[in-house]
Amino acid sequence: MQPVYLGLAQCVLGIAIIFMQAKQFQESQMKKLLIVTAASTALLWGCSQPTSETADELAALENADTSTVDAAATDADAGANPFFAEWDTPFGIPPFDQIKDAHFNPAFDAAFEQLRTEVAAIANNPEAPNFANTYEAMERSGELLNKVANVFGNITNTDTNDTLRQLEGEIWPKVTGEIDAIYLSDAIWQKVHDVYGQRETLGLDDQQMRLVELVHRDFVRRGAAMDETAKVRLKEINAELSGLTTKFGQNLLAETKGFELVITDEADLSGLSKQMIGSAKAKAEKTDRPDAWVFGLNRSVFEGFMTTSDNRDLRKKMFDGYRSRAANGGDTDNGEVLVTIAKLRAERAALKGYADHAAFQLETRMAKTSDTAVDFLLKVWRPGLVRAQEEIADMQAFVDAEGGNFAIDGWDWWYYAEKVRTAKYAFDASQMKPYFQLENVRDGAFYVAGKLFGVTFTPVEDAPLWNPEVQVFEVKAEDGTHLGVFLVDYYARDSKRGGAWMSTYRDETQIDGMVRPLVTNNLNLSKPAAGDPTLMGFNEVNTLFHEFGHALHGLLTQAKYGRFSGTSGPRDYTEFPAQMLEHWAAQPQVLAVYAKHYETGEVIPQELVQKLQNASTFNQGFKTTEFIAASLLDMRWHILTEQEAEAITDVREFEKAALDEYGLIPQIEPRYRSQYFSHIFAGGYSAGYYAYLWSEILDSDGFAAFEENGDIFDPQLSEALKTWVYESGGSEEADILYRKFRGQDPGIGPLLRNRGLDSAKGTQ
């Protein structure tokens, strides 16, 4: 990543969000450790959409663990420390085969010392502050810290272990303290503020001016202008939040990994696909249970089981296991943790002069206020809820016709929705899977990028890997110019957090010559039995395209300064480039390229493609309602005052009261209940989960431009999309960049049409 300032901010931010789930989440982004930007490293929660989700200016501070452990290590324990050497590897990829757990603590300690020396030199410079000796000097600082933190943050999300979890408890509090020390330094703040006051007379170019304005804003929002008493309390809050948000994520991981649905009667596998059964058998065999099948709570496993299992009792067990995560009492219950997080965030917002945490968060986003965000959500909620009630009626009719003596409940939705879809559209989602082999889907995404932007992806065979499952590609522009390196890690494993996300091991910068990025995509696909292909559902195909859209945003960026390179724009904009790419996944001419039967090589029949398109808006009432319910819940937690949060004694009662106000029906759960809503309590989406839907206004309207032109690869529009969206990062305000691409402001019509809600009752 970059130098501290930005660098640091990028780095920690990224790491932080990686804890999210988000892409889900997602998609992850987290970059700019020090300076604050939100987003590139782990647009996680895709980013889980979804994290992967999975960042905001506070993510770097809020994702550290304040617990202390004796996990220190020395160079003597681990031999020569690779962080202190130049990496003689292809494209500067970290030498994962040389990096040991024991290297991290001494590397971080050295990085902190280097950072303090660099910052002290800026603070003590006797020359009058100017752009070069203040803003660019900070931009160059923290190189070693970025180098170490990027590796540590990524590895602890993909291949963690007990030692690394302990190290997080030591390292993140230190990072928090170092960052606070810079933002709350009077000497640094005075120099930053002085240059800012002179900015109009300094002859700065557009990128330099953007850097000055963003960095000054970052310092103000991080508390630089506060009095000393307030700064002391702010540091205390930041430290406590660091521990709590990491504890939230670790509790959730423990509960998710701790759940198993064990089947010993083969008859109970009725309805499940061969691939799902094979994966469950392989999971059981790994734990010496050869006569069983074991199912966990990985989202793809959960949805697959809920959609296809014929056993209603087992579906309920899976459903209850998923929705009760971190809400079972005991040490890993997140109820008290999240209430304290909400209370501290509210106190911190008040300390900074904001009405609530949401007001602070949304100030720099496209929505600007929580009222605007909620009003937008309700415009889609109302028709979505009407459609959901119609969907229940359709499913209940199906149950009654089968002679079922029960009313549709939450654990029935996926299963009976699929039956209704099959009946209505003669479409069975399982018919599609043989045409969506992982390698072909990946190459299909590469094909789209090539057609739109002229980029190519070439395998790198001799690159070091953090896990044998990882694949590496060099990315080049149409003229052969090196753009970066793309690393993919698609399979789930016990050492890896859930969700899907984009992240970086190095960010793009041009301050001292061209440095191109190292970008990674992570999914959590179930590993098939040995010798079987990895076949994907179409939702998983969309997730791969989504995270690849984030990756392109990081790979194509052309910014001089890391502070606004790649995915570093506002949260409700940075999902736009990812969601935009999803539109190409289902286009017939694109399917013809990558959707080929894994056994015969036959291109997917046009009949199936037509069925896919006909059913594209099916079940959108459910999908819309569960997502918006989670978004409204997020906002409710973050418009609380400190006193209101402190008064909450029962998280589930709070949830129910909040969502009952909006008329949520009992058959639908919010996509994330509070105790496992890691996007907002362990990642960078607090008061920001609405961003996925907000960005959908942009991507729906943006893709409509290609449709209106009659060419989904229209050269002029593709060039505008590349220039003003994927290459521009956060170099200008998001609404300006969108208008430069589209030539107009977006409207909500295409979004409602794409979801099939434009004709539903309740549409405004």
- Active-site positions read 547
Do the beta carbons of residue 490 and residue 523 sit within 8 Å?
A: yes
Place of tokens 């209603």: 312
d(C-alpha 4, C-alpha 431), whole Å: 50
Q: Is 458 helix (H, G, I), strand (E, B) or coil?
A: strand
Q: DSSP string of 24-61?
A: EEBB----EETTT---STT--BSSS---B----TTHHH
Using the CB atoms, write b or e for 88-106: b if 16+ within 10 Å.
ebebbbbebebbebbbbbb
Residue 633 identity: L
Around 258, how many Cα atoms within 13 Å sit in the side-chain half-sphere? Answer: 11
Q: What token pair was written down for 568?
A: 């570093």
Which amino acid type is present at position 103?
Answer: H
Residue type (1 letter), 206: D
- What is the Cα–Cα distance from 186 to 398, expressed in whole angstroms? 68
Report phi then psi at 761, rounded to 5: -65, 145
Question: Do 279 and 526 meet the contact criterion of CB atoms below 8 Å apart?
Answer: yes
Q: Which amino acid is at 1?
A: M
Long-range contacts of 327-332, Cβ-Cβ distance < 8 Å, separation of 24 or more: 327/651, 327/652, 327/673, 327/675, 327/676, 328/255, 331/251, 332/251, 332/254, 332/255
Name the burial class of residue 481, with classes exposed (0-12), middle (13-18) and buried (19+) by CB atoms within 10 angstroms of its CB: exposed
- With 0-12 CB in 10 A as exposed, 13-18 as middle and 19+ as buried, what is 217? middle
Assign residue 625 a region: left if phi > 0, alpha if psi is -120 to 50, beta otherwise?
Answer: alpha
Going by the DSSP 8-state scheme, the letter that residue 135 receives in this structure is: I
Total length of the chain: 764
Joined together, the tokens standing for residue 60 give 């770097």
* Spatial separation of the C-alpha atoms in residues 91 and 78, rounded to whole Å: 25
Q: Which residues contact 113 (CB under 8 A, 6 or more apart)?
A: none
